[in-house]
Structure 1
């Protein structure tokens, strides 16, 4: 509290110092209470951080045995840059052989050379990509301004750009941003007029590129000739769908015997009411013998392209169960094709071919691109002998759990190896060990007073070293911390046997121990403090050769109830849980410290009030004493003056 000033009174008798000395003694309980509060607050922070460290260790342990554990994750390694893949845990381990015949593409159309000052007339411009459209009103302006307008409104469907051809000419490039044959680019309204004027497209002569649907029954051979006009453009593509109907084998064998000849009525005669009928003739017939069942013919190679020179080019084989299966053939890769030949030599299969059409590159709705940089097309791949098409280059519905990413066509098969993601598993194990070591470091610092403990922690930052030195031995002898330390060390050292054939039962067997660097290494006292080391080479070998057994070491089902109930990671989690759970041991620790802090705050407040009152009393008391002394001194001085005055007289 502030000093009480007494007007006219000096500190001649040293009462101020006397009061300060007396109050210093009186403040001892208050200072002790403040020190206790500071200690409680530091301990509270320490217990909170210990809880956080244990929670991180618990989380990393759960990662190693939970449903989302890294041991079940998969990666896909490709031997060909033309096709890559990503795999989920649902993917089966093994090799996948994929041939990329064609990647999906987008329509990209280039205009003729345009003057630098070319102006795009105003109007309503509509660009179609499949069944979606981009439409806007254009006020008119330069080709550069028009390009910017298209890109502003492209909405992920179309994109435009300008290519400088020369100092006086440029070309306009318009492209679809969606792959697949179904997402072809077309123009409507004033966009169509602009595309025609700018030489992007041309109207093609009226002609039918579609051919009649046909059905080819068992043992039939049919040829579907192409119209000569359809073949004028060398960049042609034939497409059709095939449905295969298969008759069961029993129907080939079931033959009904013939009924035999039908004889006329033998007739009779009637006379005077008497009728006489002839008997039915009896024609002896040889016993019926069923003719031999024709041999069953199985032939999946029935589709061919017929060339002008009479040769035929085989197409992909059919298969049972095909329903509207899409065939797409680039005719320009074959040359001089005159028709589609179907030689159905099968005795029990009928083929139906529909939606047969021949289109040119860049053709759409009666218009054809004049300068196609690329055209909208589906990706075509072959997997397990089956040719299939998709509208994108990212295919996730062919191999379960695997997404194929097509980048280019391949010469033959590319091999994708689906294997465990050992790096992900390794990282999870390293994180688990790192969190364990950090918990052990905190426990050693708090329960021991040896400065070497801090000096050994080379990965600590300067701030962490300073904090560690301040906390060294702060909770020495604490039962809870020592119990956690002993429990964790025992858990890490114990064997875990999943079954009789368990390959790994100890962490040491996969390269994790307190002396993973080997017995020949120099003695290091830090190895006696419970820290774990990792022999990465040994861990890599274990994960590469037997990742399933490594997984069992960290978590396995011991009683057949399909729930993980044992293993290193599971036991670490279960041992930590009582400490960090809601209303757990560490929560009780911090709650107890909060109560102590509250009580200490009340004590400090009470002592402050008492000291303020005490100091006031002392200052009043000694102020009064000084006043009385001064009064007596004044009286004494007055008497002295009178006495001296009388003597002088």
Structure 2
């Protein structure tokens, strides 16, 4: 017992001396411990002993290497977070580089340009070709749309059961009777995908019902069948008043401008080089057509025609005798000692008939075969024919035109819209002089890769263009420069010389990355490669005139001198790129292929880009990002070290726990011995007092 007591006394004295100067416990904590922890007096020692404090200080000594391991692991974690952040910049640069030469390349992006988007919009895909087009919009496609009369809102309408037809689509409607609002709800719910039904309160007490088809085109007319009482009562429909129109065109009043035509009332025959004009004042309405019979009669063999040339022996042929009244003049030698040139032969003229309108428009009818022909005059709706000209410029045929008439084709409808707003019609437009019809205004099947959106009629052709999308190319280049500069600036910070060896966990945020890889060859090598690539020359179609980035306005530093303290010098020192946008845009407009080839070019013709700034940057980044890259290996190595440090900490914490248990056992015995000693001391003191 005495040995154990002496051992613990030694430990306590040693502990008190070792930690007497400790600065790790605050005054408040000290005060708290005095009030909550047991204290014991040691015989011969004035100060009381805090055994819990001694235990904590002994444990603290053991915790120091554990904390060191934790901080080492923390440094590796900080380093990995920096590497991963930097890797994001590299991946962004790789992505922006690839976009300049892979399937997303902006150099193949096209755009449509319209001088008047209110009349026509042009949209182009990558399939489109750079080209200009002249487009004249004679008519845009419209749906059927019509309104009712103004109907009192509280008027009770009779029930009706009918069918609404939109082209070939059938929409059954059952109206049980009620106000115009209830009819509106019924029609609206019938088929919202095909019909647009609206109600307009035109006065405080009345309303107008409007029905519009959601499909445009001549074939998508709206008509009704069934019990139509309610539609007649609200003035949506009325009895049809339309009549068919049929007017023959006679040739009893024509102007012969050249040639010798043969004219009858219903037909005209035109030999070679003949032109006639038929004055006509006829208004054209919807569904009007022109029909006629057309025949071509080719002349016989050329041998049947007589002309004056040299004979087979090269001798001039004498003129034939000519009889004038009762005098015969015999032929003699030709007066002119020259050969007569052959008559010019024309056999490719086909613009035989032209309709002239009062507004200056013309409608040319071409023929190459015989037959009966019918032409729609729909695009000239509400116009007036001023005259018709018929011409034959061919020298090898005569033509015959007969049975010309203008007529209308009306659908036989018992009821028609009373208040039409628009009539269903096709879009009619001319593309470079060729007439085209479509049942919609959004047209994507006329020009490969181009969509036309017709929005209004024009009186003359509008010149629209499909060109390269220079704005997208510029944006892609600027994005690439931004990604490149951010990467180079990051690399400069990581590799700049820095004598500060402060552990990462103790650094300020602004100094965290400085020089941490200043001695890492892989990072330094990557920086040098990326800096060198934009300064290299590249082969283009323009030879020496266009081989480097500086020639298109992109540079690290301008030629010449500048102050070492200037921002330009700081930027150049980091290897950052600048751009002269005015110069770049000028070169891009005039030498787009050359600009593309500087960034990405296919030198061996295998359809894969193998040269250029963007291509070389992407290839150089393979060593830094992706599978097997030095950054991946660096992260993996740090993660391995982190696991090792954390494992060490775990094992050391287990030993620390065991050590604490052992200390508490020993100090528990010491506490017990001290309590017994204190009790005996008190007993002895009491005995001495009693004896006194």
- The answer as to whether partners of 1:240 and 1:353 remain within 8 angstroms in 2 is no
Corresponding residue of 2:620 = 575
Distance (Å, rounded) in 2 between the aligned partners of 1:645 and 1:352: 160
Corresponding residue of 1:263 = none
Residues 115 and 404 of structure 1: is their aligned pair in 2 closer, same or farther, counting only changes over 3 Å?
same
- Structure 1 residue 404 and structure 2 residue 447: aligned? no
Corresponding residue of 1:166 = 203
Q: How many residues in Structure 1 have an aligned counterpart in Structure 2?
A: 575
Distance (Å, rounded) in 2 between the aligned partners of 1:29 and 1:321: 105
- Structure 1 residue 105 and structure 2 residue 142: aligned? yes
Distance (Å, rounded) in 2 between the aligned partners of 1:181 and 1:541: 48
Tell me the TM-score normalized by structure 1.
Answer: 0.76
Matching of residues 417-432 of structure 1 within 5 Å = 417-432=465-480
- The answer as to whether partners of 1:489 and 1:530 remain within 8 angstroms in 2 is yes
Q: 1:238 aligns with which of 288, 292, 295?
A: 288
Q: 1:618 aligns with which of 649, 652, 663?
A: 663
Corresponding residue of 2:125 = 88
Corresponding residue of 1:284 = none
Corresponding residue of 1:509 = 551
Q: Which runs of 5+ in 1 are unaligned?
A: 213-218, 226-230, 256-291, 452-464
SS of equivalent residue, structure 1 residue 372: strand
Deviation at 1:210, TM superposition (A): 8.9
Q: 1:546 aligns with which of 591, 603, 623?
A: 591
Deviation at 1:319, TM superposition (A): 6.7
Residues 300 and 500 of structure 1: is their aligned pair in 2 closer, same or farther, counting only changes over 3 Å?
closer
Deviation at 1:66, TM superposition (A): 1.4
Distance (Å, rounded) in 1 between the aligned partners of 2:510 and 2:367: 73
SS of equivalent residue, structure 1 residue 417: strand
Cα-Cα RMSD: 4.5
Distance (Å, rounded) in 1 between the aligned partners of 2:519 and 2:551: 34
Q: 2:420 aligns with which of 372, 383, 389?
A: 372
- Structure 1 residue 301 and structure 2 residue 351: aligned? yes
Corresponding residue of 2:239 = 203
Corresponding residue of 1:271 = none
Residues 166 and 444 of structure 1: is their aligned pair in 2 closer, same or farther, counting only changes over 3 Å?
same
Q: 1:393 aligns with which of 433, 441, 444?
A: 441
- The answer as to whether partners of 1:53 and 1:438 remain within 8 angstroms in 2 is yes
Residues 355 and 450 of structure 1: is their aligned pair in 2 closer, same or farther, counting only changes over 3 Å?
farther
Q: 2:366 aligns with which of 305, 308, 318?
A: 318
SS of equivalent residue, structure 2 residue 447: coil
Residues 426 and 326 of structure 1: is their aligned pair in 2 closer, same or farther, counting only changes over 3 Å?
farther
Residues 243 and 170 of structure 1: is their aligned pair in 2 closer, same or farther, counting only changes over 3 Å?
farther
Matching of residues 588-603 of structure 1 within 5 Å = 588-603=633-648
Residues 402 and 253 of structure 1: is their aligned pair in 2 closer, same or farther, counting only changes over 3 Å?
farther
User: Which protein is bigger by CA-based radius of gyration?
Assistant: 2
Corresponding residue of 2:338 = none
Corresponding residue of 1:78 = 114
- Structure 1 residue 116 and structure 2 residue 153: aligned? yes
- Structure 1 residue 329 and structure 2 residue 372: aligned? no
Tell me the TM-score normalized by structure 2.
Answer: 0.72
Residues 345 and 334 of structure 1: is their aligned pair in 2 closer, same or farther, counting only changes over 3 Å?
farther
SS of equivalent residue, structure 1 residue 418: strand
Corresponding residue of 2:462 = 414
- The answer as to whether partners of 1:224 and 1:341 remain within 8 angstroms in 2 is no
- Structure 1 residue 526 and structure 2 residue 570: aligned? yes
SS of equivalent residue, structure 2 residue 656: helix
Q: 1:51 aligns with which of 83, 87, 92?
A: 87
Residues 603 and 386 of structure 1: is their aligned pair in 2 closer, same or farther, counting only changes over 3 Å?
same
Residues 394 and 243 of structure 1: is their aligned pair in 2 closer, same or farther, counting only changes over 3 Å?
farther
Deviation at 1:394, TM superposition (A): 1.6
Matching of residues 196-275 of structure 1 within 5 Å = 196-204=232-240, 235-239=285-289
Residues 349 and 588 of structure 1: is their aligned pair in 2 closer, same or farther, counting only changes over 3 Å?
farther
- Structure 1 residue 129 and structure 2 residue 166: aligned? yes
Deviation at 1:640, TM superposition (A): 5.4
- The answer as to whether partners of 1:222 and 1:342 remain within 8 angstroms in 2 is no
- The answer as to whether partners of 1:301 and 1:314 remain within 8 angstroms in 2 is no
Deviation at 1:632, TM superposition (A): 4.0
- The answer as to whether partners of 2:113 and 2:466 remain within 8 angstroms in 1 is yes
Deviation at 1:63, TM superposition (A): 0.7
Deviation at 1:376, TM superposition (A): 0.8
Residues 589 and 125 of structure 1: is their aligned pair in 2 closer, same or farther, counting only changes over 3 Å?
farther
Deviation at 1:64, TM superposition (A): 0.6
Distance (Å, rounded) in 1 between the aligned partners of 2:622 and 2:596: 21
Distance (Å, rounded) in 2 between the aligned partners of 1:63 and 1:236: 53
- The answer as to whether partners of 1:396 and 1:402 remain within 8 angstroms in 2 is yes
Deviation at 1:568, TM superposition (A): 0.5
CA offset digits 1:250-300 (Å, max 9, x no partner): x98799xxxxxxxxxxxxxxxxxxxxxxxxxxxxxxxxxxxx999765443
CA offset digits 1:380-418 (Å, max 9, x no partner): 111222212111112222222221121111121101122
Corresponding residue of 1:433 = 481
SS of equivalent residue, structure 2 residue 112: strand
Q: Which runs of 5+ in 2 are unaligned?
A: 1-32, 42-47, 249-260, 268-280, 304-341, 500-506
SS of equivalent residue, structure 1 residue 396: strand
Corresponding residue of 1:483 = 525
Residues 604 and 584 of structure 1: is their aligned pair in 2 closer, same or farther, counting only changes over 3 Å?
same
Deviation at 1:109, TM superposition (A): 0.9
Distance (Å, rounded) in 2 between the aligned partners of 1:644 and 1:615: 42
Corresponding residue of 2:215 = 178
Deviation at 1:342, TM superposition (A): 8.5
CA offset digits 1:320-378 (Å, max 9, x no partner): 6999997343565344899x998899859999999996246xx6745432221111111
- The answer as to whether partners of 2:284 and 2:377 remain within 8 angstroms in 1 is no
SS of equivalent residue, structure 1 residue 397: strand
Distance (Å, rounded) in 1 between the aligned partners of 2:463 and 2:167: 34
- The answer as to whether partners of 2:555 and 2:578 remain within 8 angstroms in 1 is yes
Distance (Å, rounded) in 1 between the aligned partners of 2:559 and 2:160: 78
Corresponding residue of 2:25 = none
Deviation at 1:16, TM superposition (A): 2.7
